[in-house]
Structure 1
Amino acid sequence: MTALTLSTAAAPGLRADAIVIGVAKAAKGPVVAPGAEAVDKAYDGRLAAVLDTLGASGAEGEVTKVPAPAGFKAPLVVAVGLGGEPEADASFDPEALRKAAGAAARALTGAKKAAFALPVTDAGDVGAIAEGVLLGAYSFDTYKDNGGGKAKNGKAPLADAVLLGAKPRDAAHKGALARAVAVCEELNRARDLINMPPNDLTPEAFAAIASSAGKQHGLKVQVLDEKALVKGGYGGILGVGGGSAATPRLVKLSYTHSKADKHLAFVGKGITYDSGGISLKPAGHNETMKCDMSGAAAVFAAVVAAARLGLEVNVTGWLALAENMPSGTAVRPGDVLRMYSGKTVEVLNTDAEGRLVLADALWAASQEAPDAIVDVATLTGAMMLALGSRTFGIMANDDAFRTTVHEAAEEVGEPAWPMPLPEHLRKGMESPTADIANMGERMGGGLVAGLFLREFVGEGITWAHLDIAGPAFNEGGPFGYTPKGGTGTAVRTLVRLAELTAAGDLG
C-alpha cells in the first residue's frame, strides 16, 4: 500500500514525480484551491488561466497535467477537480477531498512519489486526503502474469505520497493519518477478498484468513465447521451450503476492550459464490457472483479495524459463509429448513439464500444481547433497482437507529438511503407448511427481505440491515477513490458506528 508522510515543506523544493493541487469550479472558470499558493505563484498567478486554456473546469474528478515551472524539483503538476467552491469562510467537504486525492492517485499509477498540496484546514482534511490516496491507489493484480502488485498496464501503484500542509508533529494530524491507514488497509483487504476467484476463496479458506488476521490483531476467533453447524442446528447455513463440495462455516470474531461497557454485533453475508442453486441464475448473472460475500468481507474488515484503532467498545463479527451450488444434495424449492432459532422456513426460491444464512447468524448474535446488531449483505437485486449502483439501503426496527446509521454513512462518504419495513408486506411470506417462507411479494423485494431478517433478531435488540447489493461491486470504470471490482463499501460506516459507540454517541 502507498506509504504516507506529513510535511510542511514548500512544494517547489520537494523532490517528487508530481505535485498534486486542487482546482475548484467557479462561474468564470477554474480557481486554484488553497494549499497550492506556492505553485500558483511560480506561474505568476496565471495557473488558473493555463488550466482554463487546456479545458480544465475544476469539475469533480477531473485531472489535468501540466509541466512544472522552472525551479521546481518535480517535473509535473497534476491539477485535480474539487467541484464547486465552498461558501465564504467554509472549507471543502471531506468527501470532495477524498475523491480528488483518489483520482490523482489513480492518475499517478507508476509514479514513485507524489506530493499532495490539497486544502488542509484541520485534522479531518488530513484524514480525508489520506483515505483518498490510500483507496485510490488500490489495485488487484495477484492473478496477472506480471504480478508483483503491478497494475494491468504493468505499472505499480503510487509508492509514496507526501501530504503537504499537514503537520508531522501535530497530534491531531498524526492521529488522523494513523486512523486512515488502519481503516484503509482493512478496507483494501476486504476488496482483495471480494476480488478473489471463488475457487480460491471457499468458506474454509475465508475462515482461515479470518483466523490468521484475528491472531495477528488479538481477536478471539471461533470457527464452526460443518460438523459443529449440524450439532448446533444451523439449518439455514447448512441448507444453503449443502449443494457444494466446499462446506459452509460460521466464523465469530470478537474484539473486546477492558474499559468497554457497550457491545456491537456485526453480521455479514458470506456467499463465496452464488449460482442461485437449484433456482439457477440466468446467463449473464453469474459472472460477478464471487462478490456475494462482500457483506462478510466488510464485517471482517471493520472488526479488525476497530481492534487496530483500540476503540473502547466490544465488537463481535459474525461471518456466515457458504457456497450456493446446484447438486443432488442442494436444497430444493419446497424444502423446509429448521433454523438455528427453531423457526421453520419454506424455501420457495434457492436464490434467496442470503437471508437464510443471515437468519442463523442474526439469531446467534442475538443470544449475546448486544446493544445493537447491524447486518451487511449483497441481498437483493430489488435494492439495486430502487437505489442504483452507488447507494445502499438501510432498514431497521428502530427509526432513530436507522437515522444514526444513515448519518454515519453520509459522514464517511458512503452514499446510503433509509428504507421502510412496511408491515403489510409480511403477509406475503406466510406459508401453509412452515412458520415463514423465504419469498414474498415481488414488488418491494428488498423490503420483504428486510422483514424476513427482522424475524430472526432477538426481542428488544436494536437492529439495522444494510443492503449493499448496488455499490459492493463496481462493474464500470473507476471513479474518485473507487476501483473497478470490489469496493469495500460499508466498512467505513461500520467503523464509524463503532467509534460513535465508543464515544457514547450511538443514540
Structure 2
Amino acid sequence: MDFGIKVATPEKQRSACAVIGIFESRKMTESAKVLDKITQGYIKSILTSGDMDGKVNTSLLLHNVPDTNFKRILLIGLGKEQEFKEKTFLAAINSTLGALQKTAVTDVILFLSDFPVKERTNEWKITQTIITSISSTYRFDQLKSKPENNQSRLRKMIFCIDNRAELAACEQAMQQGLAIAHGMSLTKNLGNLAPNVCTPTYLATEAKELAKTHKLKATILEEKDMEKLGMGSFLAVARGSEQPAKLIVLEYYGLNKKENPIVLVGKGVTFDTGGISLKPAAEMDEMKFDMSGAGSVFGTLLAVAELKLPINLVGIIPATENMPSGRATKPGDVVTSMSGQTIEILNTDAEGRLILCDALTYAERYNPKLVIDIATLTGACVIALGNFTTGLMSNDEKLAHELLAAGEQAADRAWQLPLGDEYQDLLKSNFADIANIGGRAAGTITAACFLSRFTKKFRWAHLDIAGTAWKSGRDKGASGRPVPLLTQFLIAQAKASD
C-alpha cells in the first residue's frame, strides 16, 4: 500500500473515498461540518435519520454525496469525545480498514484533525495508522497450494494535516511507520513458517540474504566453532536434535565502526518439545513460535536498515531445536557455559536461558553500549501479564525507563518486574554454580535472574515476550512484537546521540 501526506481541508480534495469521524451522539467533527456545509446539510440529514449515531466500531458508507469530489464518504463512529484516546483511535482505524476491505475502493483520504487523541501528535497517528493498515492486509499463505484471493483493493492512503510546519515531521513519521511495518511482516513470516521449514539452517540462510540486501555483515558460527568457544550450555540444548545449531550474528553500522554498538540477542529455538522434560501434546504446534525473539531481531534490523539510523547495531541469534533423543541432555546433567559458570539442568524445558547465557557472554566481545535480549522465555510471564504486555527486567534503571517509554510511544507496551538479589537464592544448586530453574514461584523473575549472572559487564535488559509474540485460537499467528518497541527505542537512541 502507498501512503502520502497533504496539507489540505475537505473542500477541494478528490478521492474514491473520504473517511469522516462522527462522535457519539451524532456530533460532527470539523471535517464533517465542512462537508455538511458544502452539501447543504446532507451529512446532518443522514445523522438525524438515525443511520449513524457515532458509537465506537460502527461505520456507514455513503455513495454519490452531492456537491463533493468524493465517490464515497465513510462515516466512522468515534465514541464519546471526552473518552477518545489511543485505544479508541486504533479501533476507529481498524473499523475503517474493515469497512473499506468490503468495497472496491482503491484510494482513501483521512483528515487527521478528525481523530483528536489526547497527548498524541499527528506523527504518532500516521505511524500507527500505517502499521495497522499494513498489518490488516498481511496474509501468510505461502505454504498453501491455493492461496486465498481475498486481498483488499485498497492501494493508497492519503493523510491530510492542517499545518504545513508539521509536514517534514509527518513525512519522517510515515517512513518510520513503513519501516516498522516491514520489520513486523518479516518477523511474522519467520514465526509463521512451519518448523520443518524454519530450521536453524534456514534462519542462517535468511540472515545471509538480509545482509546481502541491506549491506549488513553476516557471520554464522557452526557447532564446531561453538565447541572451541566453550559454549557448553548452548550445545547442551542442541544435542538432542539432528538439525545442527547455528550462532547467527548480523552487524549494522550507521556510525564509525569504532563506536560501541547496541546488541540485540534473540532466542531462536525453532521448535521446542521441552526435550526430555517433554511438553504436553496440546498446542505443542505453537512451539514453532519459540524463535520469536530471533524473528524480532531480524525484523528490527530490517527496520533500522531501511531507516538508515545513525547507530551501530549487532544482532546475535542462538538458533537450535530442543528435541528428545538418546543424545539429549537429561535433567540432572551439569554443563559448563562459555562464561565458565557451571549449570545444573533440572528441567530441559527451561532451555531458552541456556542458549541465551552463552550468546550474552559472546556479546562481550563487542564491548556493547548496552544489550537487550528478547525471548519467549516463561509461561509464568503469560500468567502475570496476559497476552497484552511484555515483561521487562533490567540491571539498569535508566535503560528500563527508556524501554518503557519506547513501548508507550509505540503502543507496544512493556511492564517492569523486580530483579532483586533475594530472588537469586532460588537458583542455588547443590552440584553446580547455578540451577537452570528456581521453582514455580516468580518464574519470570528467576529466569531473568539466571540471565543476569551473565550480564555483569554491560548494561542489560531482558524482554520476556512469551505472552505477546503470537496469538492463539482462530487468529493464530505471529504478532510481529516487539519490533515496534525495539525500533522506537533505537530511533530515540539515534536522536540522543546526534
Structure 2 length-normalised TM: 0.89
Q: Decide whether the 8 Å contact of 1:106 with 1:137 is kept in 2.
A: no
Q: Decide whether the 8 Å contact of 2:35 with 2:43 is kept in 1.
A: no
- Change beyond 3 A, Cα 1:161–1:323: same
Q: Find the counterpart in structure 2 of residue 444 from structure 1.
A: 442
Matched, 1:470 2:467: yes
Q: Find the counterpart in structure 2 of residue 363 from structure 1.
A: 361
Q: Find the counterpart in structure 2 of residue 14 from structure 1.
A: 14
1:247-299 Cα shifts (integer Å, max 9, x gaps): 11111111112358452111111111111111111121302111111111111
The residue matched to 1:382 in structure 2 has which SS?
helix
Instruction: Give the drift of 1:237.
Output: 2.2
Matched, 1:123 2:89: no
Instruction: Give the drift of 1:130.
Output: 2.1
- Change beyond 3 A, Cα 1:375–1:12: same
Q: Decide whether the 8 Å contact of 2:15 with 2:71 is kept in 1.
A: no
1:349-394 Cα shifts (integer Å, max 9, x gaps): 1111111111111111123221111111111110000011111111
The residue matched to 2:112 in structure 1 has which SS?
coil
Matched, 1:230 2:230: no
- Change beyond 3 A, Cα 1:490–1:30: farther
Aligned pairs for 1:20-99 (under 5 A) are: 20-24=19-23, 26=24, 29-41=25-37, 42=39, 44=41, 46=43, 50=47, 53-54=50-51, 57-59=54-56, 62-71=57-66, 76-82=72-78, 84-85=80-81, 96-99=88-91
Q: Identify which range, 37-46 or 224-233, moves more after superposition.
A: 37-46
Q: Distance in 2 between matches of 1:387 and 1:66?
A: 38
Q: Decide whether the 8 Å contact of 1:102 with 1:135 is kept in 2.
A: no
Q: Distance in 2 between matches of 1:505 and 1:408?
A: 16
Aligned pairs for 1:247-326 (under 5 A) are: 247-258=244-255, 261-326=259-324
The residue matched to 2:450 in structure 1 has which SS?
helix
Matched, 1:213 2:224: no
| 426, 429, 451: which one aligns with 1:428 | 426
- Change beyond 3 A, Cα 1:204–1:34: farther
| 349, 352, 355: which one aligns with 1:354 | 352
1:219-263 Cα shifts (integer Å, max 9, x gaps): 111111222222222222221122112211111111112358452
- Change beyond 3 A, Cα 1:81–1:401: farther
Instruction: Give the drift of 1:485.
Output: 1.4
Q: Distance in 2 between matches of 1:86 and 1:356?
A: 50
Read off the aligned partner of 1:498 and give its amino acid letter: L
- Change beyond 3 A, Cα 1:64–1:376: same
Aligned pairs for 1:133-172 (under 5 A) are: 133-147=133-147, 152=148, 154-166=149-161, 170-172=167-169
Q: Decide whether the 8 Å contact of 1:35 with 1:165 is kept in 2.
A: no
| 236, 240, 245: which one aligns with 1:243 | 240
Q: Identify which range, 154-163 or 206-215, moves more after superposition.
A: 154-163
Q: Distance in 2 between matches of 1:37 and 1:217?
A: 47
Q: Decide whether the 8 Å contact of 2:278 with 2:349 is kept in 1.
A: yes
Matched, 1:113 2:106: yes
Read off the aligned partner of 2:299 and give its amino acid letter: A
Read off the aligned partner of 1:173 and give its amino acid letter: C
Q: Find the counterpart in structure 2 of residue 481 from structure 1.
A: none
Q: Decide whether the 8 Å contact of 1:379 with 1:467 is kept in 2.
A: yes
Q: Distance in 2 between matches of 1:225 and 1:12?
A: 62
Q: Decide whether the 8 Å contact of 1:11 with 1:115 is kept in 2.
A: no
| 447, 451, 455: which one aligns with 1:457 | 455
Q: Identify which range, 108-117 or 196-205, moves more after superposition.
A: 108-117
- Change beyond 3 A, Cα 1:139–1:108: farther
Q: How many residues align structurally?
A: 484
Instruction: Give the drift of 1:491.
Output: 0.6
- Change beyond 3 A, Cα 1:193–1:402: same
The residue matched to 1:288 in structure 2 has which SS?
helix
Matched, 1:500 2:466: no
Q: Find the counterpart in structure 1 of residue 412 from structure 2.
A: 414
Unpaired segments ≥5 residues, structure 2: 114-120
Q: Distance in 1 between matches of 2:49 and 2:394?
A: 48
Unpaired segments ≥5 residues, structure 1: 479-483
- Change beyond 3 A, Cα 1:437–1:39: farther
- Change beyond 3 A, Cα 1:442–1:37: same
Q: Distance in 1 between matches of 2:353 and 2:92?
A: 37
Instruction: Give the drift of 1:36.
Output: 4.5
Instruction: Give the drift of 1:65.
Output: 3.2
Instruction: Give the drift of 1:82.
Output: 4.3
The residue matched to 1:374 in structure 2 has which SS?
strand
Q: Distance in 1 between matches of 2:48 and 2:326?
A: 64
- Change beyond 3 A, Cα 1:254–1:411: same
Q: Identify which range, 321-330 or 96-105, moves more after superposition.
A: 96-105
Q: Distance in 2 between matches of 1:362 and 1:456?
A: 6
Q: When you count helix as a share of all residues, which structure comes out higher?
A: 2
The residue matched to 1:466 in structure 2 has which SS?
strand
Read off the aligned partner of 2:388 and give its amino acid letter: R
| 379, 382, 392: which one aligns with 1:381 | 379
Instruction: Give the drift of 1:208.
Output: 0.7
Q: Decide whether the 8 Å contact of 2:22 with 2:32 is kept in 1.
A: no
